[in-house]
């Protein structure tokens, strides 16, 4: 467990508390802030889990990153910018 996982858990818990207080008081702003904090906390916990995995399994993490990079750049390679200069058929 690393600092990102711990901080993400704290932010998630804070968001759940805010959301519950917003529900109880009828304060939609507080409720929405709580939901945003929950999403932020979950994202940071996920990042922490990826960091933990990468530190335990560096070769597997490098292989996954390589495959993801090839998929990303391979998908971008086939795209062309059509822009607003399309020719019209008459």
CA distance 20 to 34: 8
Nearest to 10 by CA among 50, 49, 38, 51: 38
Between 71 and 83, the higher pLDDT residue: 71
Please state, in angstroms and rounded to a whole number, the distance separating the CA atoms of residues 29 and 37: 12
pTM for the predicted model, two decimal places: 0.66
The pLDDT > 90 percentage for the chain reads 60
Tell me, letter by letter, the H, E, C secondary structure of the chain: CCHHHHHHHHHHHHHHHHHHHHHHHCCHHHHHHHHHHHHHHHHHHHHHHHHHHHHHCHHHHHHHHHHHHHHHHHHHHCCCCCCCCCCCCC
What integer is the mean pLDDT of 6-16? 96
Each residue's pLDDT tens digit, 34-78 = 999 999 999 999 999 999 998 899 999 999 999 888 888 877 766
Query: Of all residues in the chain, what percent carry a pLDDT higher than 70?
Result: 84
């Amino acid at each position: 467990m690393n600092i990102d996982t711990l901080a993400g858990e704290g932010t998630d818990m804070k968001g759940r508390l805010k959301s519950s207080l917003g529900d109880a008081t009828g304060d939609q702003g507080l409720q929405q802030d709580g939901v945003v904090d929950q999403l932020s906390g979950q994202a940071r916990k996920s990042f922490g889990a990826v960091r933990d995995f990468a530190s335990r399994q560096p070769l597997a993490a490098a292989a996954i990153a390589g495959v993801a990079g090839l998929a990303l750049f391979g998908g971008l390679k086939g795209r062309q910018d059509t822009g607003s200069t399309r020719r019209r058929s008459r």
